[in-house]
Chain A
Amino acid sequence: MSIATVFEIVLAAVVLGLAIWTIAVPETYSATVGFVAYGLLVALIWVRLDAVDVALTEAAIGGGLGGVLLLGAAARLRNADPTAVETPCKLVRLCAAALSSLIAAALVAAILLLPDPAPTLAPAAVAKAWATGLANPVTNVLMAFRAMDTMLEKVVLLLAIVGVWSLASDPAWGGRPGPRHEADPHGVLAFLARLLPSVGIVVGIYIFWTGADHPGGAFQGGAILASMWLLVVMAGLTDTPPVSSRRLRFILVAGPGLFLVVGIGGLCLGPAFLAYPLALAKPLILGIEVAMILTIAATLGLLLAGAPERSEQR
């Protein structure tokens, strides 16, 4: 047994143990911290499996933004009245456990019953990479071969933000999301919020740009940009924009909108919906991705900021 195998077994055991603890621990805060650490370790596993694109997304969403979202939820739950939370009866809990075990068993069976070698379109995707001029097969699949799915995903993001906004109370509608953060303007947090975004914006754009040929892409880059924006907001250096702002709403629809325009252009001028002309494939994809990284950064940031809570003036 080589060192690499030992490493993999140890890592898998640690992740499994942490996952079970995260589910079993009663306090929401501890479970959230466990989940953040879990996301980190899963990112390590994805790198080990040579799926660096997935590792990047896991690091950005699972460990980073998802963790912060859960932290906020845990803080709210703790503020809420604890007596209002009723424990479900034993039968419901038993049924839930049985259902979860059944799903886990079905997943295990599905993996064990996979034919060997598993059916794959990977060689076909790699063979057709010349058509777009992009070397990263994941970006090729996302932006060209299965562009329809990606476009619809962006529409789902838009629906998610509409869902979050619809939780606003009537007087706060159209106002600014989240509490107004105050911080010492000469403190450590304000200093960090001035220093780190300059690095973070460069890294975010780099992750997006390198996505053409290496692991990376608009989603991961957008997640980094969103976190940098929220850092500045949390330090009190700037405020979240009112959700009635036209400019904000334009940014939110820019990504899916441009995607749709290019798709319909392919339908009118070319053979099919979202068919890029060969010579223009790379510039078109890059253009869509530039619009998308802005949309993704704004959407993820606003999803984390939450529903509008304050009227526009304050």
Chain B
Amino acid sequence: MTEFLTAAVGFILAMLALGLVSILRGPGDADRMMAAQLIGTAGIAVLLLLGTIAGVPAAIDVALTLALLATFASIAFVKKGLSRFEADGAGSTEDK
């Protein structure tokens, strides 16, 4: 069972690395933030699996914290981004 879970961690890490490539390439801010959210979700999955494999139940608490704060960060991103577009006036050239 542990081997299977470890393999799953490896697979998720590979997906996480793909998300990193997406952060590097962009092209827009929103794409980068979505990739960061994907990495957050992958990180939560890795934490839960690692906690089970290594027998560290507290890893679940870290996953909980990550889940709550990743949601918060994405909403803050949208709010700040929106107020920026409004401030620009014509503004929405960047998200096209």
Contact = CB atoms under 8 A, between A and B. Distances in A.
Given A33-B29, A34-B23, A71 B80 contact: yes
A253 interface: no
B62 A47 contact: yes
B70 A52 contact: no
Contacts of B72: 64, 68, 227-228, 230-231
Given A192-B75, A231-B72, A44 B10 contact: no
A29 B50 CA distance: 31
A7 B62 contact: no
Given A10-B13, A29-B29, A30-B26, A52 B56 contact: yes
Interface string B48-77: 001100001111011011101111110111
Interface residues of A, number: 60
B58 A214 contact: yes
Interface string A36-70: 11001101100110101001100110011101100
Interface in A63-117: 63-65, 67-68, 71-72, 74-75, 78-79
A68 B39 contact: no
Contacts of B71: 192, 196, 231
Given A3-B6, A33-B36, A36-B36, A11 B73 contact: no
A36 B20 CA distance: 12
A164 to B, nearest CB: 17
B58 A7 contact: no
B15 interface: no
Interface string A3-15: 1100100110010
Given A52-B56, A78-B84, A203-B68, A47 B23 contact: no
Contacts of A59: 62, 65-66, 69
Interface centre among A74, A224, A227 (most CB of B within 10 A): A227
A63 B73 contact: yes
B43 A40 contact: yes
Interface residues of B, number: 47
Contacts of A168: none
Interface in A202-227: 203, 206-207, 210, 214-216, 220, 223-224, 227
> Which of B17, B51, B66, B87 has the most CB atoms of chain A within a 10 A radius of its CB?
B66
Interface of A: 3-4, 7, 10-11, 14, 17-18, 21, 29-30, 33-34, 36-37, 40-41, 43-44, 47-48, 50, 52, 55-56, 59-60, 63-65, 67-68, 71-72, 74-75, 78-79, 179, 181, 189, 192, 196, 199-200, 203, 206-207, 210, 214-216, 220, 223-224, 227-228, 230-231, 234
Given A75-B80, A227-B69, 14 more contacts: A14-B16, A18-B20, A30-B32, A40-B39, A43-B62, A47-B47, A47-B62, A63-B69, A68-B76, A71-B73, A72-B80, A74-B80, A216-B58, A223-B69
19 contacts: A14-B20, A34-B23, A36-B73, A37-B39, A55-B59, A59-B66, A63-B40, A63-B73, A68-B72, A71-B77, A72-B76, A181-B79, A192-B75, A196-B68, A207-B64, A207-B65, A214-B57, A228-B72, A234-B76
Interface of B: 6, 9-10, 13, 16-17, 19-20, 23-24, 26, 29, 32-33, 35-36, 39-40, 43, 46-47, 50-51, 56-59, 61-62, 64-66, 68-73, 75-77, 79-81, 83-84, 87
